[in-house]
Amino acid sequence: MNRMQQGKKGEVIVGGHQLELRTVVDDRRSYGDGVAWRRGAMLGKGSSGCVFMATLKKPRSKYSYYPSVMAVKSAEVSDSGSIQKEREVLDKIKGNPYVIRSFGEETTTGENGDMVYNLLLEYGSGGTLAERIKRSGEKGLPELEVRFHTRSLLRGLNHIHMIGYVHCDLKPDNILLLPSSTVGSGVEFRAKIGDFGLAKRAKQSKKRRLEPYWRGTPIYLSPEVVKDGVQEEPSDIWALGCIVLHMLTGEPPWAEDRQLEAKEVLTKIKEGKTPKIPKEIPKVAMDFLKGCFVKNDMYRLTAEMLLNHPFVEGLADDDGDWQFGEVVEDLNAIHSASWVSDDEDSIYSWSDEDDGSYEGEVTWESEENLDETSLELSSEVPSHTSTKTYLVDYTIRAGVV
């Protein structure tokens, strides 16, 4: 067991991890606390900012409608464009128990006097789906659990698509697990779709480009995205198929060669190849995946269609499993400020200063009107444990093929 001791200036040192713990303490102080909540341990750090645990200062106060534990995504106001964009999308698609909830926004003042933008979100106490898959030991999740999570994701996607949005970066890292109180389901957690920083309006017109333009994670991209830059509702369904395949096998799509570079995977997708579906998986699951992996996006099954597939039918219902009523949403107007751009199609970019001690996924980000790209660090939250990162498993916030 590592011995804990006090470092300089009150820094906590445990074994050889003093730098990591010192960074968490410093970051927490530098962002400040909210009016009703206190900032806790850091859950993740990436290009869009940092995510912390947040707890209510006085659970029995007028703010008691907030859950006692939340996640707060924070960045300096000048660098908070993506988080504000996410808040805007969450406001538009709220009202579904399979989409992560926003409890409002607030500005705080850090130790250095900088203004910090904070987005209060549901806390995924079960971590991410990526972490859950990793804990399975690359053997895949139990079929019943896969079916439940798949149905939850379909219900969330169906709602998102009906409202008129496309997620654009659906993957296990962006799916959070929250406790489920459904009796007799045999599944401990409910899957909820999170991280809408790359979401876009469906059928949104763009300026004419000479090259295909898209955002997301290479191994989850569909053929029409890679070939033509068309990123609409069917591309989310393709990504869903990749997630289901990952849950069933314990391996991400295109995992037959873990040394594949992103361009090699994109070439395969562009050539019309689909992720390999092992013959060992149940036939009903294989049929479901075939509906997700239809190469022509015009004929790919929709979320509404797939909800009627035998793979997700006959499960115990959990629609009523929602702990907090809509009254929480009314609190969004309290102590909030907004700097959201009026341009629905804006792509925000920023860069983090990093000392090289943080290990995370690499993010390639470029603005729509720029040719340059910059490497940045990205992590999805909440992040309780490190997960295996394949060479092609990183997010492209907005870029060209």
For tokens 């792509």, name the residue.
Answer: 347
Question: What's the CA gap between 106 and 118, in Å, rounded?
Answer: 5
By three-state DSSP, how is residue 383 classified? coil
Return the exposure string of 225-248: e unless at least 16 CB atoms fall within 10 Å of the residue's CB, then b.
Answer: bbeeebbbbbbbbbbbbbbbbbbb
Residues in the chain: 401
Asked whether 142 and 208 are in contact (CB, 8 A), the reply is no
Catalytic residue among 169, 236, 297, 393: 169
Which value, in Å, is the radius of gyration of the alpha carbons in the chain?
Answer: 21
What is the DSSP secondary structure assignment for residue 141, as one 8-state letter?
A: -
Is residue 91 among the annotated active site residues? no
Count the alpha carbons within 13 Å of 100 in the hemisphere toward its beta carbon. 30
Pairing mode, strands 361-365 and 396-400: parallel
Paired tokens of 53: 């645990």
Strand runs labelled E in 168-244: 175-179, 189-193, 200-201, 213-216
Q: Is 62 annotated as a binding residue?
A: no
Paired tokens of 119: 């987005």
Question: What's the CA gap between 131 and 147, in Å, rounded?
Answer: 18
Identify the H or E element spanning 224: helix 223-228
Binding site for ATP, residues? 73
Which residues are identified as catalytic?
Answer: 169
Binding site, residues? 73
